[in-house]
Amino acid sequence: MICPKCGLPEELCVCEDMSKRSQKIKVRIDRRKYGKAVTVVDGFEHANLQNIAKDLKQRLACGGTVKEDKVELQGDHRQKIVSALSGMGFDEDMIDT
Ligand SMILES: [Zn+2]
């Protein structure tokens, strides 16, 4: 696979990493049935959401799904989500919790 943006093969391309730093991520907590908390992470652009969800689930040791352009994680992860996302290459200052 060749990246359409920089023309480099996917394994050399850093476009996704670069764009991660400029993405404004919003984190909010939703309450679902029976008062269960769900952490909704929103604002991703040009990102592989399946990979992000997988990575977050591993880092936070929880279940989760991709819903449209959002990642939903089971439980309230406000305490740890910023460090998890920054460990994945996102800019802490751009994460709004
Ligand atoms: Zn690229």
The CA distance from 57 to 79, in Å, is 15
pLDDT at 66: 96
- pLDDT, position 16: 81
CA of 77 to the centre of ligand 1 (A): 31
Distance 16 CA to ligand 1 centre (A): 7
**In this structure, which topology does domain 15-96 adopt according to CATH?**
Translation Initiation Factor Eif1 (3.30.780)
Of 83, 88, 37, the residue nearest 63 (C-alpha): 37
Radius of gyration of the chain (CA): 14
Ranges of residues in the chain with a pLDDT under 70 are none
Q: How many A from CA of 50 to the centre of ligand 1?
A: 19
